[in-house]
Structure 1
Amino acid sequence: MNNRLQPLANELDRHWIKLTTIAWVVIAIFYVWKRWAAIHWLSLGDTDDNMRLMQVRALLDGQGWYDLRNYRLNPPQGFDIHWSRIVDLPIAGLILLLRPLVGVAEAEKLACGIAPLLPLGIVLVALGATVRRLVAPLAWPLAIIFMMSSTVALMMFMPDRIDHHGWQLAMLSLTVAGLCDPKGPRGGAIVGLASAVSLAIGLEMLPYCAMAGAIIALRWVWDAAERGRLMSYALTLGGGCAAGYVIFASEANRVMRCDALTPIWLSVFVAAGAGLALLAMMSPGDRRVRVLLAAIVGGAIAGAFALMFPQCLARPEQVSDELYTSWLSNVREAKPIYRHPFRTAFPLAALPVMGIIGAVIATWRARRSASVVGWASVSLFALFSVSMLLWQVRAGAAAQMMAIPGVTALAFFLLPWLLTQRSIFVRVFAGAAVFTLISGSFATVMLGTLPIDKPKPYVQRVNRATGRCMTVPAMAPLNRIPRATIFTFVDLGPRLITLTHHDAIAGPYHRNGDAILDVHHAFKGSPEEARAIMTGHGATLMLVCPNMAESTVYRDRKPGGFYDRLAHGETFDWLTPIPLPKGSPLRLFRIEHGGT
């Protein structure tokens, strides 16, 4: 390295955590500024984000710590949810901090804008630690650049994305950093605690947590000197899950269910921790014996799980066949990547594929160095993350984040060659080409030039309708009407209760399958059935959003049903239209509870 640049390199190395924190602050300020309009209009675009805010509001209004039932959906008994309070805490803390300064409404908007950016700071530090250990001490700025160039992964940390995905990605980034930590006990503890926090938040990352545990066990099988890493992982995993259950498990999660950290999964994780701790204590010198012992412990836990909790071997949501067919199997993010349009799948997979290539090359280059174990762990995780896309496309964010070490290694391999080019034009254009390739940006560039898979006008119309109906200006006029229970679409329910004082019937959450099916039956069935279901729920108003995505299911897939007839202009004597402001995308009706 040029002697004149050595002092700068030393500073970048010595103060990398401080500089990463500064970079995160700058990034956070930039995105708050860039998305200020969305923050101002409380643009919680996902149903889960709206439900998260409602959960926080209920907590701040005095609802019990262990009571996560939402009483604004399906009143009066309420609507059960399988989440925990962990992700509520930073949002609630920001609201409490800001509301004396700006008032409740503005404090909520700012909290929803700032809170998702908090776990991004953890991700940047964890990725920096990983690439410093595996690539080079000065590679951490490249990891930040590549993380900022990701598409799906970065979206999980954008303002108003307040659901749990960002925090679980943060725990996954810490898991990888712990696997690469040369200090075994510390690394094992980081992996165990990160896994425990992730599992206490939700089970979405359970496969990744299991993969991390398998990697740590395999390292011990290969080298008994890894017993310290295995022991600290075992104790923190079991103890962390137990603490997470005691502190955060809701009343509804203290029963034998398969979709959250309930007694079922708590027993599995505690047993796994105890079994791995026993292996670490024994640590026989013969590798073949270690293989046998690991197989016995793993087989015992898996066998006991299958025998004691067979209901969890099928659908962990434990929904009915009808609900699965009519709703859960149609959730887009739960479909494999090959069932998505090429325009969606190609840019999503480009970065993870480049990450695998980089990780495999780096593992090969490090085969005679101490970092080979860390690179092998990253390569396994990268391959596993991409394979998860063949199960559900919702794994895309994790797959993109797991690609960062691999693409950083590729960039660091090519950087010396770029710097040796004499022509500045060659350096600039070659550098841009290299970045476009290894960052996966080439996929977006290619799609922009190919006349394939263009969004159809029908899809664009549906997207516009869905977006308009969810806005504050569309919902605000409903607050001029006295509070009532409104019968509306499943996907509109969480947004309705967030922006208005009205109650709704259902939201897209599997524990409340009966309410979801009631909405489906009402809109798909006969007018008489619809009226009976609506009045049975005590609804006095009905709200619909013509051309919203969900409405097309009732209109196009069930011709002749109640909603199809309503959408084609038929009137019913038990529905009275209520005028809304001109240009409103919504239609509101009063439900008459009298005779036919």
Structure 2
Amino acid sequence: MNDGSLARTIERDWVRLSLLAWGLIALYYVINRWTGIHFLQLGDTDDNMRLMQVRAWLGGQGWYDLRQYRLNPPVGFDIHWSRIVDLPIAALIVLLRPFVGVREAEMLACGIAPLLPLGITILGLGATVRRLVSPVAWPLAIALLAFCCVATMLMYMPERIDHHGWQLAMLSLTVAGLCDPRGPRGGAIVGLASAVSLTIGLEMLPYAAMAGAILALRWIWDRDGAQRLSVYALSLGGGCAIGYAAFASYANAALRCDALTPVWLSVMVVAGALLFAMAWTNPANRWVRLGLAVVAGGVIVAGFAMVFPQCLGRPEQVSPELAANWLNNVREAKPIYQHPFRTAFPIVVLPIVGVIGAAIATWRARGTARGGLWAPVLLFVTFAALMLLWQARAGPAAQMLAVPGSVALIWWLAPVMLASSNIFVRVFGTAAVVLIASGSFAGAVMTPVDLRWTGLNLHYSPPDRPTKRVQTINRASASCPTMTAMTPLNRISAQTVFTFTDLGPRLITLTHHNAIAGPYHRNGDAILDVQHAFKGTPENFRAIAKRHGATLLLVCPNMSESTNYRVRAPNGFYAQLAHRKTFDWLEPIDLPRGSPLRLFRIKPEQTVRHPIRLRY
């Protein structure tokens, strides 16, 4: 096959070849991470809770009932997610369990499901790069995504079954729709992708709003964009309405601010109606179009403020105490500049390069049809990069959206270097272009732990400590939630266990026991109860445990959360327990030798029992 026929094949069969590349990448990750798949190493509390949500549904819990009854029993608590991400996980379990059994079906489903949205992401980026750079440039986009977008790829790893990968996939379709030369199709893709993402969760709401603003700006600048805007408006409003009707839980029928409830549904429907009306009138004067857009934006903002004033603050609507003790300390929610340099630098390099590349490509394509496609993408990727100044959790999206600009830089500069008559320039110049334009040079200061936001110690940020202390915390946070550490608890009859907030979801996933709290804002009262119990007096702990019906106490010494209790309340119950103080109402229960956990039975008042010894 000569170069010409190879190029034609790459251009003609790009979808089939992209899916082949996705299949090979997926197979590699399944093989590479088989141990984690086999031991169900769901590293984040959200991944554990997602599996529990699927189990509850397959076990007979209603489609619209998302209350998790095994946390804070017997009433449980409502989680703000939808079931849309549960579907592929549940489908894989149902498909596989007749052949391999329930446990292996869950294990395989949790390994495979996160890789499904990766295929959509590859196709979305491929479509974008084909339109903006070259019809044969899409393999470079796949290579950059797979090898250089470290923060992004973490969201697709086996066992990462929560919603982030699917929302990133919708974001890749959004950017593809923004640069689609066919206006109605592009508008429909952006509108539907935004609607699906919002139905999953509100994390990508700023990106959805920015995409809509870009389409409105495009229409203001050129009234030929009216058809694109009108189709987008109908797709957004209609898609959100369908998403709400099909997936919103009973609890989300209330006027809450943290999900696609009637609050945000009404905003999207009204916004869609106003945008459609603007596009339908489509005045010839650009200034009139600008005026209509300003009025529509003012109506939406003012109406939101008047009708839903409770949503003007934090969407979680937690108490000031819980915000100070918990939400304000979530590391990924802090701006990127508040993170250590070795963590922040590898995250921000590629987004910066992507913005530069998109800006240069837009400038070089000015006055052409391709320039009109690059401009909205430039605005979108710049917005994504700036989101890092708000929260570091924007890193995966910012890196993924940097791929088109990075590809454009390499596609432009690499041939220049290769065409040089100087062999030094051809070899080292080309290598420098690839290393810089891909952001790969940042790897010199990156360690795997720096980008591992998926650990169970995510929700607490202890004060800076010496390196050895940090290593101790990391070891405890990694070892306590393992299957090896947790499954011996199943030898004790099912009970309610009082344990750390960050251990709650993992405990109910791996054992038949119930827990008190998980790190979810709708579980706020229970989270505060756990904090008050561990930081207060022993008598206070006992009273809170009794109120929740807890008969067992499980702790993980040196875990990040426990370290916070010991440091912030040096005279509190947990600090006393950590210093090996004994209490006559706590009865130690032996665990296997080397277990990182400590387990106690909480004795009923005025009852004395002999210690329980489990034989292994």
Q: Same fold (TM over 0.5)?
A: yes
Structure 2 counterparts to residues 17-166 of structure 1, below 5 A: 17-149=15-147, 150-166=149-165
Could you tell me which residue of structure 1 aligns to residue 509 of structure 2?
498
Change over 3 Å in CA distance of 1:217–1:39 after alignment to 2: same
Tell me the amino acid that sits aligned with residue 387 of structure 2. M
Tell me the amino acid that sits aligned with residue 344 of structure 2. A
Q: State the alpha-carbon separation in 1 of the partners of residues 85 and 323 from structure 2.
A: 28
Could you tell me which residue of structure 2 aligns to residue 466 of structure 1?
477
Q: State the alpha-carbon separation in 2 of the partners of residues 553 and 373 from structure 1.
A: 52
> Any idea what the Cα deviations from partners look like across 1:117-162, whole Å, max 9, x if unmatched?
0000000001000011011111101100110121100110010000
Tell me the amino acid that sits aligned with residue 496 of structure 1. L
Tell me the amino acid that sits aligned with residue 441 of structure 1. S
Q: Residue 446 of structure 1: CA displacement?
A: 4.4
Q: State the alpha-carbon separation in 2 of the partners of residues 309 and 543 from structure 1.
A: 41
Could you tell me which residue of structure 2 aligns to residue 250 of structure 1?
249
Q: Residue 420 of structure 1: CA displacement?
A: 2.4
Q: State the alpha-carbon separation in 1 of the partners of residues 241 and 54 from structure 2.
A: 24
Q: State the alpha-carbon separation in 1 of the partners of residues 59 and 563 from structure 2.
A: 37
Could you tell me which residue of structure 1 aligns to residue 217 of structure 2?
218
Structure 2 counterparts to residues 130-529 of structure 1, below 5 A: 130-149=128-147, 150-421=149-420, 427-446=426-445, 456-529=467-540
Q: State the alpha-carbon separation in 1 of the partners of residues 486 and 511 from structure 2.
A: 7
SS in 1 for 2:515: coil
Paired residues of 2:481 and 2:503 also in contact (CA < 8 A):
yes
Q: State the alpha-carbon separation in 2 of the partners of residues 376 and 215 from structure 1.
A: 9
SS in 2 for 1:542: strand
Q: State the alpha-carbon separation in 2 of the partners of residues 473 and 294 from structure 1.
A: 58
Paired residues of 2:497 and 2:550 also in contact (CA < 8 A):
yes
Tell me the amino acid that sits aligned with residue 520 of structure 2. Y
> Any idea what the Cα deviations from partners look like across 1:62-90, whole Å, max 9, x if unmatched?
10000001111000001210000000000
Tell me the amino acid that sits aligned with residue 562 of structure 1. F
Tell me the amino acid that sits aligned with residue 230 of structure 1. L
Paired residues of 2:418 and 2:430 also in contact (CA < 8 A):
no
Q: State the alpha-carbon separation in 2 of the partners of residues 142 and 6 from structure 1.
A: 18
Could you tell me which residue of structure 1 aligns to residue 559 of structure 2?
548
Identity across matched positions, percent: 67
Tell me the amino acid that sits aligned with residue 325 of structure 2. S
> Any idea what the Cα deviations from partners look like across 1:400-432, whole Å, max 9, x if unmatched?
011000000001002312432568786454433
Change over 3 Å in CA distance of 1:82–1:567 after alignment to 2: same
Paired residues of 2:132 and 2:373 also in contact (CA < 8 A):
yes
Tell me the amino acid that sits aligned with residue 30 of structure 2. V
Q: State the alpha-carbon separation in 1 of the partners of residues 193 and 352 from structure 2.
A: 25
> Any idea what the Cα deviations from partners look like across 1:308-331, whole Å, max 9, x if unmatched?
111111111000001001111011
Q: State the alpha-carbon separation in 2 of the partners of residues 455 and 445 from structure 1.
A: 23
Q: State the alpha-carbon separation in 2 of the partners of residues 219 and 58 from structure 1.
A: 46
Change over 3 Å in CA distance of 1:105–1:455 after alignment to 2: farther
Could you tell me which residue of structure 1 aligns to residue 452 of structure 2?
none
> Any idea what the Cα deviations from partners look like across 1:512-536, whole Å, max 9, x if unmatched?
1100000000000000000000011
SS in 2 for 1:156: helix
Tell me the amino acid that sits aligned with residue 124 of structure 1. I
Q: State the alpha-carbon separation in 1 of the partners of residues 84 and 37 from structure 2.
A: 22
Q: State the alpha-carbon separation in 1 of the partners of residues 604 and 93 from structure 2.
A: 41
Q: Residue 445 of structure 1: CA displacement?
A: 1.4
How many residues are treated as equivalent by the alignment?
590
Q: State the alpha-carbon separation in 2 of the partners of residues 262 and 548 from structure 1.
A: 36
Q: State the alpha-carbon separation in 1 of the partners of residues 228 and 406 from structure 2.
A: 27
Paired residues of 2:346 and 2:445 also in contact (CA < 8 A):
no
Q: Residue 343 of structure 1: CA displacement?
A: 1.1
Tell me the amino acid that sits aligned with residue 522 of structure 1. A
Q: Note if 1:580 corresponds to 2:578.
A: no
Paired residues of 2:39 and 2:483 also in contact (CA < 8 A):
yes
Tell me the amino acid that sits aligned with residue 33 of structure 2. R
Tell me the amino acid that sits aligned with residue 32 of structure 1. V
Q: State the alpha-carbon separation in 1 of the partners of residues 287 and 376 from structure 2.
A: 21
Tell me the amino acid that sits aligned with residue 15 of structure 2. I
Q: State the alpha-carbon separation in 2 of the partners of residues 424 and 144 from structure 1.
A: 28
TM-score (norm 1): 0.97
Could you tell me which residue of structure 1 aligns to residue 12 of structure 2?
14
Q: State the alpha-carbon separation in 2 of the partners of residues 28 and 245 from structure 1.
A: 32
User: RMSD across aligned C-alpha pairs, in angstroms?
Assistant: 1.5
SS in 2 for 1:216: helix
Flag structure 2 segments of 5+ consecutive residues without an equivalent.
448-463, 608-616
Paired residues of 2:343 and 2:446 also in contact (CA < 8 A):
no
Q: Residue 447 of structure 1: CA displacement?
A: 5.5
Q: Residue 458 of structure 1: CA displacement?
A: 1.2
SS in 2 for 1:576: strand
Q: State the alpha-carbon separation in 2 of the partners of residues 429 and 595 from structure 1.
A: 78
Q: Residue 61 of structure 1: CA displacement?
A: 0.6
SS in 1 for 2:78: coil
Q: Residue 386 of structure 1: CA displacement?
A: 1.4
Q: Residue 298 of structure 1: CA displacement?
A: 1.1
Flag structure 1 segments of 5+ consecutive residues without an equivalent.
none
Q: Note if 1:560 corresponds to 2:571.
A: yes
Q: Residue 435 of structure 1: CA displacement?
A: 2.0
> Any idea what the Cα deviations from partners look like across 1:434-484, whole Å, max 9, x if unmatched?
222111121121458xxxx99812111101101000100000110111100
TM-score (norm 2): 0.94
Q: State the alpha-carbon separation in 2 of the partners of residues 240 and 587 from structure 1.
A: 49
Q: State the alpha-carbon separation in 1 of the partners of residues 119 and 10 from structure 2.
A: 18
Q: State the alpha-carbon separation in 2 of the partners of residues 258 and 42 from structure 1.
A: 33
Q: State the alpha-carbon separation in 2 of the partners of residues 594 and 307 from structure 1.
A: 52
Q: State the alpha-carbon separation in 2 of the partners of residues 554 and 364 from structure 1.
A: 54
Q: State the alpha-carbon separation in 1 of the partners of residues 151 and 426 from structure 2.
A: 29
